[in-house]
Amino acid sequence: MHQINMGDDLRERNREIAAENTVMLKKHGVVSINIMSAPGAGKTSLLVASIPGLMKKYRVGVIEGDLQTSRDAERVAALGIDVYQIETGGVCHLDASMVHSALHQLDLDSIDILLVENVGNLVCPAEFDVGVDAKVMLLSITEGDDKPKKYPLMFHESDLLIMNKIDLAPYVDFDIEKAKSEARDINPSIDIIEISCKTGQGIEAWVDWMVRLCDERKS
Amino acid sequence: MHQINMGDDLRERNREIAAENTVMLKKHGVVSINIMSAPGAGKTSLLVASIPGLMKKYRVGVIEGDLQTSRDAERVAALGIDVYQIETGGVCHLDASMVHSALHQLDLDSIDILLVENVGNLVCPAEFDVGVDAKVMLLSITEGDDKPKKYPLMFHESDLLIMNKIDLAPYVDFDIEKAKSEARDINPSIDIIEISCKTGQGIEAWVDWMVRLCDERKS
């Protein structure tokens, strides 16, 4: 079987810029989260549902990654926060360099926590570190409970797995316990929260998770 | 904004091998379809639901593309047909070279129609032609009706858009007419079929679509 290997130079360069991002964020006291998922798993809905709760405690900034269109950025900006839009122009993930440019455009001194919404893709975003404090992945239960075994790197890299659209559980064949168990086989320390952006279930637990992360990193 | 451009050499090399695949398939009288979607939209379920109907008229072969695991290939092979599994080892799409290797392993004289299940990804599979007769994309209505505008290349490249999980329509906010209209804005000649692999709705229309393609290409 043929395989394309990403050049070592490109990987190394990404790592260097990711490290610069980490230093830059730390210097300004900004805690950061990279949010990843397949297309349509609900990343933007998650932000819209949880940012108002998070804003009660911390000042929030957002970087929106999209192939094209600024629809998601507009939905988030409507909450009254700073959003920086990256249109990747067809590139299927954010890399450290794209995020680096965005960091230079944001007023980091007016932000406590930065949420980075990656491009909808279960593969490449997991391969490109962007220098954040934590990685969160969203899995819609409509995508099937076979995803941990089929996309292991994403589960391996994530600190938190959010299972979204839990309100659809009665209508889809998704074995929640099996998916949790297979996710933990790949990543024993992964946190897991079940949510529904539609009903609001679990949103408070997700806000609490972010607040705990901020408290830990800022203390 | 930073952008990674795929090297022209790599694109050109992929085009050349895709053209070789086309010649090879034509020589053996095999009609071929590249099936693409986001992770968990139901590509394998679509194959399992429709291959028995297709087998009444044509001999079917399948190439299964996965990052890892042969779960999908096993589900399809259980139908009693030839399946060739490509594990991409982390690469987020099939390319013409991977498919070329698979064509050399399959007995093309015992196949009338070859279904290629791509890696679950709404971005890169649309960029890599593999030399087939038709491209089909699957969109689960749980992914949201904003997908045509957000992932236009996939809609632009596809001959047929299959809207899957239509049985979940009462439970999700998905404007079917809006999504159809936006898909047609991008690709005015795209065919559209609504299906549910769970209830069987629309599966016959999809089998008929494949049979018509075979009849056209073989006549």
Q: Which residue has the higher pLDDT, A7 or B124?
A: B124
Q: Is pLDDT above 90 for A2? A: no
Residue B62 bridge partners (DSSP): B83, B115
CA distance B98 to B90: 13
Instruction: Report which DSSP code applies to A38.
Output: S
Each residue's pLDDT tens digit, B155-196: 999 999 999 999 999 999 999 999 999 999 999 999 999 999
What's the full length of chain A, in residues?
Answer: 219
Q: What number of other Cβ atoms are within 10 A of residue A104's Cβ? A: 9
DSSP B60-119: EEEEEEESS-SHHHHHHHTTSSEEEEEE-TT-SS--HHHHHHHHHHS-GGG-SEEEEE--
HSE, side-chain direction, 13 A CA sphere, residue A147: 32
- For residue B14, the chain A residues in CB contact (below 8 A) are none
Residue B91 has pLDDT above 90, yes or no: no
d(CA B29, CA A193): 51
Q: What is the pLDDT of residues B5-45, one digit of tens each?
A: 455 677 788 999 999 999 999 999 999 999 999 999 999 99
- Chain B residue whose CA is closest to A4: B91
Of B38, B69, B146, the CB nearest to A150: B69
Q: What is the pLDDT of residue A75?
A: 93
For chain B, domains (ranges, CATH) are 8-218 (3.40.50.300)
- B86, A143: Cβ pair inside 8 Å? no
**How high does pLDDT run on average in chain A?**
93
Q: Find out whether B139 and B111 touch, Cβ atoms under 8 Å.
A: no
Please state at what angle helix B203-218 crosses helix B43-55, rounded to 10 degrees: 60
Complex ipTM, two decimals? Answer: 0.79
User: Residue B11 has what pLDDT?
Assistant: 77
Contact A150/B71, CB-based, under 8 Å? yes
Residue of A nearest to B3 (CA): A88
- Residues in B closer than 8 angstroms to A38, CB to CB, are 38-40, 120, 143
Confidence of residue A8 (pLDDT cuts 50, 70, 90): low
Q: Percent of chain B beyond pLDDT 90?
A: 86
CB–CB contact B92 A4 (8 Å):
no
How deeply is A201 buried, as exposed, middle or buried, from its count of CB atoms within 10 A (0-12, 13-18, 19+)?
Answer: middle
- Model confidence pTM above 0.80: yes
Q: What is the DSSP string of B152-178?
A: HHHHHH-SEEEEE-GGGGGGS---HHH
Average pLDDT over residues A166-184: 97
pLDDT in tens, A36-79: 999 999 999 999 999 999 999 999 999 999 988 888 999 999 99
Nearest residue, CB atoms, B1 vs list A86, A124, A146: A86
Q: What residues of chain A lie within 8 A of the CB of B101, using their CB?
A: 1-2
Digit-coded pLDDT (tens) for A27-36: 999 999 999 9
* Average pLDDT, rounded, for chain B: 93
